[in-house]
Amino acid sequence: MKALPLLLAWLMANWFSAVAQEEYVSPPARTLTTVPFLLAAESVILLKATLVGHADTLLFILDTGSSGISLDSTTASLLGLTPVPSEINIRGIAGLRKAEFIYNKKLKLNELTVDSLNFHINDYQFLSYVYGVRIDGVIGYSLLSRYIVKIDYDIQEIEICSQGPIKYPRGGHLLKPFIRTLPVQSARIRDHRKITTRFLFDIGAGLSLVLSQDFEQDSIVLRKKRKRFPIQAHGVGGKLTMDMTLVREFRLGPYRFRKVPTMVFDDEFNVTSYPYLGGLIGNQILKRFNVIFNYQQREIYLKPNTLYRDPFEYSYSGMELYYVNNATVIGSIVKDSPADLAGLEEGDVLIAINNNASQDFVQYKKALMSARKRVRLIIRRDKELIEISLKLLSVL
């Protein structure tokens, strides 16, 4: 009789073991494709892709600040695509507009084909001017929500993986942001005061840090005597004016950055839904990390890369450079800024900076990034060549 309880115990132990052995485990994430990318104006990621059924190679910005995927209106027209009006509103920092869509398209990234994509149509001409290359669209949540996306700035490659268990590399930090369609992450600012608030994690913004005016004034986070310089910025809906300043320290997870260039803007269209967000973290900070986006698990993994200790740029000229019709053109000029006081005018064509007449748009932009430096410009106005000396100011 003693054998029966022992037999039952043995059967139960082996039954539980069998159940445990049959427990379902998702297959691990695997690489689907690897895509090289460019860092436009050293700030935003550009990658090539094609629409299935069209031969032209298109250039897209990868943007965690985009809640879907979009196509430039001129590109859509050139491809013979007719957008369909909708009642959906697209909101950006510079305005609000009704969206038009091109439905159910496929995008090919090397050997990976992403199907069932609804592209909203936008005018990205200004982005093409700002970054010096033709921008055909923006890739956001529609891709990031389906895959694990690894960005390596050191070798400028994006690895797109299937969803599933993943082992993160050593030496980094795991963030647990809130993600509905856009990733929202807590971070800390220290200047006049020390404040922790939520930010949009935005690799599509070619800036360091942006604060809404509502947050900045309510929190009193910035020193009142801090220098401020007006600049012209661009977003959905057109131009807007921001104040350029800096914060003494910005902390993201365990990582601290000091004297961070910061923009403050009047959030007229409530993009930040203040007080929900204080602002956004742009790619001048985020490019300093190799990043893994795992939206399914609501995880973002950061690992410092070779750009981590690169200095921030503090120069202020008060003007924009645009690349228009294969020429570098002076864009918006702020009144009473160094560019304005030097006599530059919107529409002037830049021929050379400091004896560099290469017409290299990126090099020209770099030449204007050295604060407290005087640069010599040769511009063409109408048919006349003019030499102008420009003293760049510092935000520090």
Q: What is the pLDDT of residues 307-358, one digit of tens each?
A: 999 999 999 999 999 999 999 999 989 999 999 999 999 999 999 999 899 9
Last residue of a domain, one of 284, 299, 332: 284
Q: Evaluate if residue 5 carries a pLDDT over 70.
A: no
**Whole-number percent of the chain with pLDDT over 70:** 90
What global pTM score does this model have? 0.90
How many whole angstroms separate alpha carbon 122 and alpha carbon 135? 11
Q: What is the mean pLDDT of residues 217-243?
A: 84
Q: What is the mean pLDDT of residues 52-76?
A: 96
Closest CA to 209 of 221, 196, 199: 199
Tokens standing for 243?
Answer: 């104040």
pLDDT band at 122 (very low <50, low <70, confident <90, very high): very high
Q: Evaluate if residue 13 carries a pLDDT over 60.
A: no
Is the same domain home to 144 and 181?
no
48-to-52, 78, 165, 206, 262 alpha-carbon distances in Å: 13, 17, 28, 19, 30
Q: Evaluate if residue 146 carries a pLDDT over 90.
A: yes
Asked if residue 364 is part of any domain, the answer here is yes
pLDDT confidence of residue 291: 98
Asked if residue 3 is part of any domain, the answer here is no
Q: What is the mean pLDDT of residues 235-251?
A: 84
Asked whether the CA dihedral 84, 87, 92, 95 is positive or negative, the reply is positive
How many whole angstroms separate alpha carbon 319 and alpha carbon 322? 10
Amino acid at 166: I
Asked if residue 309 is part of any domain, the answer here is no
pLDDT band at 271 (very low <50, low <70, confident <90, very high): confident
pLDDT confidence of residue 370: 82
* CATH number of residue 278's parent domain: 2.40.70.10
99-to-90, 207, 307 alpha-carbon distances in Å: 6, 26, 37
pLDDT confidence of residue 46: 98
Is the same domain home to 147 and 187?
no
Coil, strand or helix at 341: helix
Please say whether the beta carbons of 300 and 56 come within 8 A: no
Distance of CA 169 to the CA centre of its chain: 23
Is the same domain home to 148 and 182?
no
How many whole angstroms separate alpha carbon 12 and alpha carbon 5? 11
pLDDT confidence of residue 166: 96
Residue 83's CB: how many other CB atoms inside 10 A?
17
Tokens standing for 270?
Answer: 């409530």
Is the same domain home to 230 and 204?
yes
Closest CA to 191 of 258, 244, 127: 258
Residue 216's CB: how many other CB atoms inside 10 A?
22
User: The tokens 């055909």 sit on which residue?
Assistant: 136
Range in 190-204, 248-262, 323-337 with the lowest mean pLDDT:
323-337
- Longest Cα separation, the chain: 112
Structural domain including 239 reads 177-284
Domain count, the chain: 3
Q: What is the mean pLDDT of residues 354-366?
A: 91
* CATH number of residue 368's parent domain: 2.30.42.10
Is the same domain home to 193 and 240?
yes
Asked whether the CA dihedral 66, 71, 72, 73 is positive or negative, the reply is negative
Asked if residue 327 is part of any domain, the answer here is yes
CA atoms within 13 A on the CB side of 245: 21
Q: What is the mean pLDDT of residues 180-188?
A: 97
Is the same domain home to 38 and 154?
yes
Which has more pLDDT, 13 or 204? 204
Please say whether the beta carbons of 269 and 193 come within 8 A: no
Tokens standing for 170?
Answer: 């050593």
Range in 24-33, 100-109, 191-200 with the lowest mean pLDDT:
24-33
pLDDT confidence of residue 141: 98
Is the same domain home to 42 and 146?
yes
Is the same domain home to 145 and 193?
no
